Structure 1
Amino acid sequence: MNIDAKDYERTFNVLHIEDNEADCLIFKELLSEKNQNTSITNCFDGEEAINYLQNNANQKPDIIILDLNIPKITGIEVLTWLKHNKQMLHIPVIILTTSILENDIVNCYKNYANCYLRKPKNLNEYISIADRINKFWLETVVLINSN
């Protein structure tokens, strides 16, 4: 039986790991506007994100949006932890960061990030990024239902 991704409707759980509260609010509003079947949880540092994932093992996110420049435990350390954890490694991780350093990009892909996006500089770019993430990751791709 073939499944058309658009016909496969369910609620998507997104974990957004970002220390800038304004960025969190903008992204949450835009993505929720694009897809009303989306529940977004925010963690504001790497330690909080890992604790959240460990304490909510029965409610894993469908995708994770991760900034690299977060306090306590860095984004690359969170990515490495995720991709070395058998119960989490299937979750797509979208890097959304200001860094355009070649070393950061290489390290993310070497640690199995699913994509690397530059963080938007203005509202129009945020609208575009939210739209693209929604269209590709929540409407086109068929994700594993972790729960």
Structure 2
Amino acid sequence: MRKIYLVDDDEDNRMLIRQALESMAEETEIVEFTNGQQLLTFLEESCSIEPSLILMDMNMPIMNGVEALSALKDRSELRHIPVVLVSTSQSHTTIESAYQQGANAYIVKPYTLDGYLRMAHAVNLCFLNIYLPAAQTGTFRNTAGKNVVIIEDNPDHAELMEIFIKRDAPGLNVIRQTSAETAIDFFESLDKTASAAIDLIIVDLYLPARKQGLDLLAWLRMYFVDKGIPIAPVVVMSSSGHQQDIKASFKLQANAYLVKTAEPAGSFSYLTDLCAVWWDTISFPKKPENGIA
């Protein structure tokens, strides 16, 4: 049974989010809270199964979402729980601050039913590993000029991933790296402008061992900090569904963790959908318009 903690002081908003999630995600329990302090107290006192995700409003009384997020990420025993912040604000400064505080994703609060369904779909795909038929996911926007880096040491998987992405988004630029070492060499070869042009990074955790993947996640964070630019979303896509691997990846600030299906092509067929989610539904700090040489 998957579990989501929904934190929002607005009863109507909680109802809309709950209905959207329940319409798409079966066997998912949603536990509601009205402020950040209530959430933290429950997490400290509860012995129940940890949530797969905390979906939290930013503006709440007593303790707001940013304060609660900061408290969560300051505690080593809670740092691995992914947090999606939801807010009416579209301010670049607010969005950038949310990610600096450790948010896994930032979603501007929808105003339509379709918007709530898109939010639910983003949650399902990125945090619950629920793959829905394409007919339920909406359409993709133009992805021409976007750059996706795939770091995958299994050549068959890498080939399939690129095939599925280019099938649905032929204008999208796919950059494949076969190991943590080649990925580091690639990023170090880029100047600041080219680094800022990376729009999504998809990383296999076992490269070929878990340590290489985790070390690369930590390195990527420091690389973008040293460059002084916001990092692109980093999505781990692994055959491992073990909780220790998922928790370790989130502790190192992976934005999302997807488990490959028994037939990897089944999950790879949703890669363009994954791109659309991060570029259309989830807000990320804006970067300068530029390209990779």
SS in 2 for 1:42: strand
Q: Give the aligned partner of residue 243 of structure 2.
A: 144
Please show how residues 94-109 of structure 1 align to structure 2 within 5 Å: 94-109=84-99
Residue 115 (structure 2) pairs with residue 125 (structure 1): yes
Rounded to whole Å, the distance in 2 between the matches of 1:143 and 1:72 is 36
**In structure 2, which of residues 29, 50, 56 is the aligned counterpart of residue 60 of structure 1?**
50
Residue 31 (structure 2) pairs with residue 38 (structure 1): no
TM-score with structure 1 length normalisation? 0.84
Rounded to whole Å, the distance in 2 between the matches of 1:119 and 1:103 is 16
Runs of at least 4 residues off by over 4 Å: 140-143
CA shift at 1:58, angstroms?
Answer: 4.2
- Determine if contact 1:62/1:143 at 8 Å carries over to the other structure: no
Residue 59 (structure 2) pairs with residue 69 (structure 1): yes
Structure 1's unaligned 5+ residue stretches are 1-10
Amino acid at match of 2:243: I
Residue 69 (structure 2) pairs with residue 79 (structure 1): yes
The number of equivalent residue pairs is 136
Change (3 A) 1:53 1:18: same
Rounded to whole Å, the distance in 2 between the matches of 1:132 and 1:143 is 22
CA shift at 1:133, angstroms?
Answer: 1.4
Higher relative contact order (CA 8 A, sep 6+): 1
Q: Give the aligned partner of residue 18 of structure 1.
A: 8
Rounded to whole Å, the distance in 2 between the matches of 1:57 and 1:84 is 20
Q: Give the aligned partner of residue 49 of structure 1.
A: 39
TM-score with structure 2 length normalisation? 0.44
SS in 2 for 1:87: coil
CA shift at 1:136, angstroms?
Answer: 2.3
- Determine if contact 1:62/1:144 at 8 Å carries over to the other structure: no
Rounded to whole Å, the distance in 2 between the matches of 1:63 and 1:51 is 17
- Which range moves more in the overlay, 31-40 or 56-65? 56-65
RMSD (CA atoms): 1.9
CA shift at 1:49, angstroms?
Answer: 1.3
Structure 2's unaligned 5+ residue stretches are 131-236, 248-293
Deviations 1:38-80 (A, max 9, x none): 1111111122111111111543211111111011011111000
SS in 2 for 1:90: coil
Query: Is the radius of gyration larger for structure 1 or structure 2?
Result: 2
